[in-house]
A = this chain, B = another copy of it.
Amino acid sequence: MDVRTYIERHRETFVAELKEWLAIPSVSSDPEHGGDVHASAEWLARHLEDVGFATVEIWQTGGLPAVFAEWPAADPDAPTVLVYGHHDVQPVDPVEEWETDPFVPVEQGERLTGRGSSDDKGQVLFHTLGVRACMAASERQRPPVTLKLLVEGEEEAGSPNLTGLLEERRDRLACDVVVVSDTTMWDADTPSMCVGLRGMTDCQIDVYGPEVDLHSGTFGGAVPNPARALAGVLAGMHDSDGRVAIPGFYDDVVEVSADERELLARLPFDEAEWLRTARSTAAAGEAGYGTLERVWVRPTAEINGMWSGHTGAGPRTIVPSSAHAKVSFRLVPDQEPARVQRRVRDYVESALPEGVRATVGFSGPGVRACSSDITSPAVRAAREAMSRAFDTEVLFTREGGSGPEAALAGILEAPLVFVAVGLDDDRIHAPNEKVEVPLLLKGAESVAYLWEDLAARSRAASMSNRLW
């Protein structure tokens, strides 16, 4: 029985299993649902045992549990793949906007609605269907690659314990490639592979002038105004071409290759439609780059918030004593968050007038950008596998946001490949999250082909670990 037939015949079981899992409200950011996150981990562990994984463990962390599973290939020289996903979900507020109960999954036609259906339980679960299809098609008793799964329980809470877990369990997690199934495709008719996420670092800038708010009649015009100083700092962060004007900001930026730009340009991007989604009347950004490039492959400095002095009703004629802003920076390869942080501090210091001082506090070490080399064998194999599953060419996308994937690649020293079938209109993080069941089945089919292909390439190269 070929992969596709196997998957089609097991669709009903697959959906039934997913519905069972989706019924567990594993909201990681809500302490009241801590027990549910544990229950979700237990459900997954039991399911992985049922599927046949040789080792299944629930890994406790300082927070909520991750699930680890391993199923060794018969061939000791077969490559090792680590699949990353998460079993926790977003909160459901505003719950009154859901048309059905977020934790009573409902199948209507091809669509399955429920919290976590797309992000990320559906995309984790297609792996168990995929590996069974792969084995059934080749009549194997074990997968052609050594398959490891790491399904964490705190992704929607910012993965606070993931880095520690990766460092602590580095040996158990050792692999030749990391497959991430937690992103989206261009759209249902345009299958695509994500090949990069931006990094991020964010800070709060606090500017201090006179120690107290001053009457603007008595003192105005003769003392430094920290709100004006902050406006200067913020306005000076960009030049008139929309480039970030912080000295050295672009030093380590790797320009995206002409090949990738050409591939991005082939995506059926409709700027008018994009602007409607953004509810913005104009696109704006760095000169010389299109909208997709601006959100995917170019770094940014963005004011997320600011406040100073009187913000209530009516006038209050003061020189405020302080002014504050939250600013975040999206990063691209090879910007180092720590280096960007130093550049930002130096810039703020240099942009302040006499009589005001500032502190720049970053919320953490920041997250590096990550990207896949589109010329690498792993990306080529994954693209071919997806093309075969979708019966069409697969294009490349990126994501402008940031996730824990850079930590996976960095700590495990393995390349990242994104195989995912979510859609931008799946309403993840919003009411009425749904997933298209046929796309989950295509995901299963893709990885079924991918495992065979990776094993074949490895055998052909006879030196698997050098392939990636």
Contacts and interface: CB of A to CB of B under 8 A. Distances in A.
Interface of A: 198, 200, 202, 209-212, 214-225, 227-228, 230-232, 234-238, 278-286, 291, 294-295, 298-300, 302-311, 314-320, 323-326, 328, 330, 353-355, 363, 399-402
Given A235-B228, A326-B316, A306 B305 contact: no
20 contacts: A216-B300, A217-B330, A220-B302, A221-B300, A222-B284, A222-B294, A222-B295, A223-B280, A223-B282, A230-B231, A231-B231, A284-B355, A302-B317, A304-B310, A304-B316, A305-B310, A305-B318, A306-B309, A314-B363, A315-B363
A318 B279 CA distance: 14
Nearest to A281: B355
A220 B284 CA distance: 10
Contacts of A212: 279
Contacts of A210: 278-280
Contacts of A231: 230-232, 234-235, 303, 306
Contacts of A304: 216, 227, 309-310, 315-320
Contacts of A294: 221-222
A311 B319 contact: no
A309 to B, nearest CB: 4
A314 to B, nearest CB: 7
B218 A295 contact: yes
Contacts of A303: 225, 227-228, 231, 308-309, 320
A330 B319 CA distance: 12
A295 B200 contact: no
A229 to B, nearest CB: 9
Given A228-B238, A232-B235, A300-B216, A291 B211 contact: no
A222 B291 contact: yes
Q: How many copies does the complex hold?
A: 2
A354 B324 CA distance: 26
Nearest to A219: B278
A283 B223 CA distance: 5
A398 to B, nearest CB: 11
A227 B400 contact: no
Contacts of A310: 304-305, 326
A110 to B, nearest CB: 25
Contact of A219 (B224, B281, B400): B400
A199 to B, nearest CB: 10
Given A222-B285, A300-B216, A234 B238 contact: no
Contacts of A198: 217
B282 A355 contact: yes
B300 A220 contact: yes
A400 B318 contact: no
B234 A328 contact: no
A109 B209 CA distance: 39
A227 B235 CA distance: 9
Contacts of A202: 315, 317
B305 A320 contact: yes
Contacts of A214: 278-280
A328 B354 CA distance: 22
A306 B278 CA distance: 25
A286 B222 CA distance: 8
A288 to B, nearest CB: 13
